[in-house]
Amino acid sequence: MKKSMFSLLVLVLITFTACEKSDKDKDYLKDKDKKETCFDLTYPISYTMPDGSTDTYNDEDAMWTGLKSWYNTNPDATSKPTLNYPVNLTFKDGTTKSIANDNEMVIVKKWCAGDKKETCFDLTYPISYTMPDGSTDTYNDEDAMWTGLKSWYNTNPDATSKPTLNYPVNLTFKDGTTKSIANDNEMKIAKKDCWTKEKMSNKISKQ
């Protein structure tokens, strides 16, 4: 049981931060987290535990120690802790955003994943999304998009699916050229090409 609960903690914590299994695993998970996120949680944060209690943590080490201690004290617990919203995120460029619920967190993570691979192009606005209720929202810039998506999920807190980007969309590359993307498959190819070119560029620069 202890082994399974420890694995559960690793699964929970890797969502937002690096966690500790051994020194080697801790380094691996930290590296993995740095590659997969473009933001950090701003402390303090709090979790509601499976027994209904609330634990607040002022930094990452305190969070890990506290959660690990709780599960050691409650070895029969089978559910994971729940992050309490709102939480503030600090992005790599120093900007911050307040996140109100899980849906908003999903949007930010998806955007981060896109930022990681879309380093050689930008989406050309306006763009539109089809929302889970079938409505369509159009945005003229990134700030408007973020505000609009956040507002929609605040108004529809029970929504569990993600918005769908409507095609075609135009991409503007770093060299000033543009390309029209007709579907998800073409977008995946464009992202893969960017990712491959960036890896090759990094490899060459290290030689």
pLDDT tens digits for range 62-82: 998 898 888 888 888 878 899
pLDDT in tens, 27-39: 433 343 444 467 8
- Two tokens at 11? 């699964």
Average pLDDT, the chain: 75
Beta bridge partners of 42: 88
Q: What is the largest CA-CA distance in the chain?
A: 59
pLDDT in tens, 78-132: 788 999 999 999 887 788 888 888 888 877 877 776 544 445 788 899 999 999 8
Phi first, then psi, for residue 161 (nearest 5°) are: -105, 165
pTM beyond 0.85: the answer is no
Tell me how far apart the alpha carbons of residues 28 and 116 are, in angstroms, rounded to a whole number: 19
Phi first, then psi, for residue 151 (nearest 5°) are: -65, -40
| pLDDT score for 130 | 95
pLDDT in tens, 130-157: 998 999 999 999 888 888 888 888 788 7
| pLDDT score for 51 | 93
Q: Rounded to a whole number, what is the distance in angstroms from the first to the last CA of the chain?
A: 48
Using the predicted structure, report yes or no on whether residue 8 has a pLDDT greater than 60: no
Tell me how far apart the alpha carbons of residues 25 and 47 are, in angstroms, rounded to a whole number: 24
Q: Using only C-alpha atoms, what is the Rg of the chain? A: 20
For the residues 43-64, what does the mean pLDDT come to?
Answer: 93
Tell me how far apart the alpha carbons of residues 152 and 74 are, in angstroms, rounded to a whole number: 38
Residues, the chain: 207
Question: Three-state SS for 156?
Answer: coil
